[in-house]
Structures are given as C-alpha cells and as structure tokens.
A and B are shown apart, each in its own frame.
Chain A
C-alpha cells in the first residue's frame, strides 16, 4: 500500500507551476552581469542613511544669534535704567531704541512708556564682558560675533544607524511638567514656632513649587530564544534611569536620579521577519529593582522590587545572524506596590510609555 507522502510525490512530480512574469528578463540581465540583484535592501539602507543625515544636519549645525538690524545702542547716561529681568518683563511692553556705536562700551537702554529710574548712581561704563546676555534682550552689534552662542547639541553617535536611532529616541525625551506633587516634601528651615511665646518669628517653609519628570529611557542587553518560526521568548537585563527635577521655594532646584535594573520576561511575535530587519510585538512582565537613588548628589532611600506588565512593538536590526540592535517603544503598567517610595515618572504615571534600546543575542 502506498504511503500518502508517496501519493503527494507522484501528484507533484509532473506538475508545472505557472511562471511569474518578468523572471526571465531579470534573469537574462543578471546573466549578462548588467544589473545586480535588487531585493529592496538598498532602498531601506538609503532611507536609513537619509534619516541619519537629516538628523545630523539638524543637530550638528552650529547656530549663531543674529543681531537685530533695528537695534541701536546708546552710551550710558547719568540716569541709569536697568532692564527688568526676563521673568518680570514678560507682562511689560517695551519700546526699545538704541543707537549703534562702532566702538567703546555699549549698553542697551529700554525706553518704557513711563520711564522708571531704578537708581541714581553715577553713570558707569560697562565693559563688553559685563553685559549679561540673560538680562539684555539684544546683543550689541560689535559684540555679536564674540558673544554669539554656538549651540551644538551633542548626542552619543557610535555608528550611523545607531546614531540615527539614538537621535530618534532623544527626540522623544521631553520633560513633562507636572503639578506640584501631593506627596511633595517640605523642608523645614530651622524650628517652627509653636506659638507659645508669640514672639518668635515663623520660620519660612521650603515648599515644593513644582516637579518635572524626565522621560524614562532604557538600555539593555537581551536574548531571544526561539519557540517556533515566529514566536520567541525574550529576557535579559534592562537599565533605566528616571530623572526628576523638584523646585523648592527656598532651596531652589534639586535633581533626583533613580537607577533601575530590570529583567523582562516576554513573549515576542515576529510580524515581519527578514534578513536585515525584524518587526515584532510582544507582551510580558518586567521585574525591576532600584539600584541607587540620589537627590542633589546625596544618596536617598530607594524603591524596592517593582513589577510591571509590559507591551512592546519593536524593530530589530540584524547585524549578524545571531546579533541584533533593537529599539522598542514600550507601554508599561506598574503594579501598585508599597515598594514604590520615590516620586518619579513611574510613580506619577502608573501606565507609562518608555523607549528601550540595546543589543540582542538570538538563540
């Protein structure tokens, strides 16, 4: 009795599939060596190179302050008027007129609808070095070239593709100011007046005015174990940093850094497997532990073990058959826990969006 595989073999033996169009023309050209095989890869690489070049132009071109042609400069007179600091001048309308001078010290004079004379101190020549840019709304003509700031944003660019991806990640780093936290701490300066004597003056409280949390960013080394053609188990180590700025009324700005190490345990499904790129989605959990936390450079009490549910959509660049570079936008839901004691982006946003990148080894 014939085996069913042999029946299939006999059925297919004499069969001829209909040929796709244009194959012979392409093959004929290849035989002549005229045109190399185009599998669409150069298009992708051209796109990556174009994106990297465009981002490099945006972030690496130096920028210089332009001198305003309408600005003229006058010599300081006996009446010395001081321009208002930027924060206070936002609501005041200024009519600014200055007369340009070719040499000597130049000072900008703001002419307000009602002239405000701040002090009667005798006129004093101010040298070019003393003119602070933060208080002057414009830069004197002859010092524009010297004082112009060249802003160069630098980003760690190791390789062209890694640099483009890292730049894309940096674009997503936006600080989200939040309202003053309900858990904001108040630092007491000195002792508080208990009200017994009634004579001791009240000690001002160092109140928390505002909190700004930086966008979390993760870097990791992960590994992927094949369960089937498209299904993988992913695990590894992820390092993430949560940066937060706290503004206090008295002590000013303080920055908190919290460093976490996490282990993801996830199932990934390859939506688009390819030789050079894999596009995948995944879901799982991540267990994180705060390794170190500091506030204004001083070590503080840190979070315990945190568990979060994770959903990702990722892109992996296959450098070799085993190694790849990945970038993964992630959505994490942090399981409520008493282990979370720090005020970070994570505690403010239990459902947090983050960006992870790193290298991966594929088994």
Chain B
C-alpha cells in the first residue's frame, strides 16, 4: 500500500491501516523522538503523542510524493518536542558558561566504532536547548535564523548554543572512545 492509500485508509478509520502506519514508521519516529528527548520515557510519551496527533489530524495531510507522509509525521514529532522545549526553556534558561573548544574533531573511523544507540544516548544527554539546536541544525538542516524563530532565541544565541553542544558531544565521544580502548 503506498502512502497516499495508507493515509486515505487511516482517514476512514481503518484500524488495520493505522496499525500498518505504526509498523512502518514507529521505529524511525522513535529514533527521532530519542534524539529530541532527554530519556526513554520522554521519548515514549513523545512517540505516542505524535501518532495520536497524526491519526487525529490525518485529514490535514496532503500527499506530495512518496516519503511525504513519513516527513509529515516527523514534522509533528519535532513540533511537539519544540513545544515542550519552548515551555521548558524560558523556565530554566541556563547562563551557559562559555567553554573553550580544545578537543580534536572525531574522525569518521572513530564515529563508526560507536553504536547508533550510544550516539543517541550521547545526544539525549545534552541539555535541552543544546540538544534541540544540535538536532535542528546538524541533523534536520535548519539555519540559525529559523532555529531562533522556532525556539524564541536570537540567531547569535543559536550559534553560541550549537558550539557548546558540539564541545560537549565531542567530550562524550572522546571519553567513550577512551573507555573502549581500555
């Protein structure tokens, strides 16, 4: 069943189509949720909310080619995560003390030695705002201007937060690699 037919079936309330939708995309969406969330429980809640919202507003989906349904569901997950971050961020706005970036960048070989689950864990371990900015800039490909509008921060702030996120992630990678060598 292609995405357009699947979306139509879900719109008509077909339980089997809903199950098919979940089976097809839940694992990938859960990976995205893990990247944006601080822990597994939060990612689980986000995944559930995403699919509930997707199935609840499937009538708003417009098919634009294969892959657009998956992209639409991912967009819902990201928006839900950003809503939570926006609510959370202005409650706890860190002063974010500056840190010098003296660590070398990890090589391709070094990154290949790290399992995907461990990488997700490292990204999840970043503070909320840093995690969001890293995901939006490095993984989703948004600009600092767009990120600033999404999170309610300045463009310069987004750039500064990203550099701190990079430093912290590099530290996590280096310390994990040292553990592996032991």
Chain A residues at the B interface, C-beta cutoff of 8 Å: 2-9, 11-12, 15-20, 23-24, 26-28, 30-31, 37, 39, 225-229, 321-322, 362-363
A11 interface neighbour in B105, B107, B116, B134, Cβ under 8 Å: B116
- Inter-chain CA distance A331–B45, complex, in Å, is 38
Q: Answer yes or no: B1 CB below 8 A from chain A CBs.
A: no
- Inter-chain CA distance A27–B18, complex, in Å, is 10
The minimal Cβ–Cβ distance linking A267 to chain B, given in whole angstroms, is 13
Chain B residues at the A interface, C-beta cutoff of 8 Å: 15, 18-19, 22, 26-28, 30-31, 34-35, 40, 44-45, 47-49, 51-52, 55-56, 87, 90-97, 105-108, 111-112, 116-117, 119-120, 127-128, 134, 138-139, 166, 170
Check B111–A30 contact: CB distance below 8 A.
Answer: no
B120 interface neighbour in A2, A12, A31, A226, Cβ under 8 Å: A12
The minimal Cβ–Cβ distance linking A251 to chain B, given in whole angstroms, is 55
B27 interface neighbour in A9, A12, A16, A229, Cβ under 8 Å: A16
B91 interface neighbour in A2, A17, A39, A362, Cβ under 8 Å: A362
Check B48–A23 contact: CB distance below 8 A.
Answer: yes
A18 interface neighbour in B27, B45, B107, B134, Cβ under 8 Å: B27
15 interchain pairs, CB-CB under 8 A: A4-B108, A9-B138, A9-B139, A11-B111, A11-B112, A17-B27, A17-B116, A23-B26, A30-B52, A31-B51, A37-B45, A227-B95, A227-B97, A229-B94, A229-B128
User: Given the complex, which residues of B lie within 8 Å of A27, measured CB to CB?
Assistant: 22, 47-48, 51-52
The minimal Cβ–Cβ distance linking A284 to chain B, given in whole angstroms, is 17
Check B95–A12 contact: CB distance below 8 A.
Answer: no
Q: State the majority secondary structure of interface residues on B.
A: helix
B30 interface neighbour in A11, A19, A229, A363, Cβ under 8 Å: A19
B31 interface neighbour in A3, A17, A37, Cβ under 8 Å: A17
Residue of A4, A17, A18 with most partner-chain B CB within 10 A: A17
Indicate whether A31 sits within 8 Å of B34 (C-beta atoms), given known contacts A8-B111, A228-B127. Answer: no
User: Given the complex, which residues of B lie within 8 Å of A9, measured CB to CB?
Assistant: 138-139
- Inter-chain CA distance A217–B119, complex, in Å, is 49
